[in-house]
């Protein structure tokens, strides 16, 4: 092969490798991206508020706690570590699920937690006894019919910052948020499947 032909072959080879690498990068980016944009951005609940949430909802060893939009998993991890509960981390963002799993493994509690990368509106909540939320006023309202329909009577729903429209909370607790005073709202699903104060 002449020198010029060798150079041409090398150049073609280099282009092929770069194109393949681009394809791999695109595939990886797609695999890591949420299936659709999250409805609210990630913002963690301060750890001291998490502890308060678990106390207000009286989370115990018999509970199965679902955090809908679990971020880095801190609420579920704390429920397992501090209260002996089991838990389910649900987030639409794969990055958040990876963080949750890594944090739970680091904390030595991963075997008591299920990790679901999915839209919280698709989550099967039938075995939940506690549901925690830090979403938005609109999302809470959109979620209300599902909570009412599928949660067992006695299940506690606790929301950081946002209320549930005209669902009357049984407890409102003032807490210190990351940037000022905030509220925790607690409801319990009643036997008639409505939330009761
Ligand atoms: C404000 S953060 C709360 C994180 C965590 N619960 C906490 O209190 O530290 C909201 C989380 O909800 C997730 N999220 C937003 N829309 C969602 C959806 N439709 N389904 C599942 N997760 C969603 C976001 O990715 C984000 O991690």
CATH class of 47-196: alpha beta
The Cβ of residue 14 has, within 10 Å, a number of other Cβ atoms equal to 10
Per-residue pLDDT band at 134 (split at 50, 70, 90)? very high
pTM to 2 decimals?
0.85
* Helix, strand, coil share of the chain (percent; to 5): 45, 20, 35
Question: pLDDT per residue over 86-121, tens digit each?
Answer: 999 999 999 999 999 999 999 999 999 999 999 999
Task: Give the Å distance between the CA of 74 and the centre of ligand 1.
Answer: 12
Q: Each residue of 44-57: pLDDT tens digit?
A: 999 999 999 999 99
pLDDT at 193 over 80: no
Token pair 């499947």 in the structure block, residue:
193
3-state secondary structure at position 155 = coil
CA of 22 to the centre of ligand 1 (A): 30
pLDDT band at 184 (very low <50, low <70, confident <90, very high): very high
* Pocket flag, ligand 1, residue 115 (CB < 6 Å): no
**Ligand 1 neighbourhood includes 134 CB (under 6 angstroms):** yes
For the segment 60-78, what is each residue's pLDDT rounded down to a tens digit?
999 999 999 999 999 999 9
Mean pLDDT calculated for residue range 123-138: 98
Q: Which two tokens stand for residue 67?
A: 């955090």
28-37, pLDDT tens digit by residue? 444 556 778 9
* Statement: residue 4 has pLDDT above 80: no
Token couple for 76: 């579920």
Residue having the nearest C-alpha atom to atom 14 of ligand 1: 69
pLDDT at 191: 84
């Amino acid at each position: 092969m002449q020198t010029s032909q060798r150079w041409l072959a090398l150049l073609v080879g280099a282009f092929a490798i770069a194109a393949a690498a681009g394809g791999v990068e695109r595939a990886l980016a797609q695999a890591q991206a949420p299936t659709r944009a999250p409805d609210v951005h990630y913002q963690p609940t301060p750890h001291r508020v998490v502890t308060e949430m678990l106390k207000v909802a009286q989370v115990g060893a018999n509970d199965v706690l679902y955090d809908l939009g679990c971020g880095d998993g801190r609420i579920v991890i704390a429920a397992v570590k501090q209260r002996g509960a089991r838990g389910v981390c649900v987030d639409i963002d794969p990055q958040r699920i990876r963080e949750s799993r890594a944090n739970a493994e680091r904390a030595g509690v991963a075997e008591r937690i299920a990790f679901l990368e999915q839209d919280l509106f698709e989550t099967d909540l039938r075995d939940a006894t506690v549901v925690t939320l830090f979403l938005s006023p609109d999302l809470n309202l959109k979620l209300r019919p599902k909570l009412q329909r599928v949660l067992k009577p006695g299940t506690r729903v606790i929301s950081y910052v946002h209320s549930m429209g005209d669902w009357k909370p049984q407890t409102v607790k003032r807490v210190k948020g990351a940037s000022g005073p905030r509220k925790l709202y607690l409801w319990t699903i009643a036997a008639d499947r409505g939330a009761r104060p």
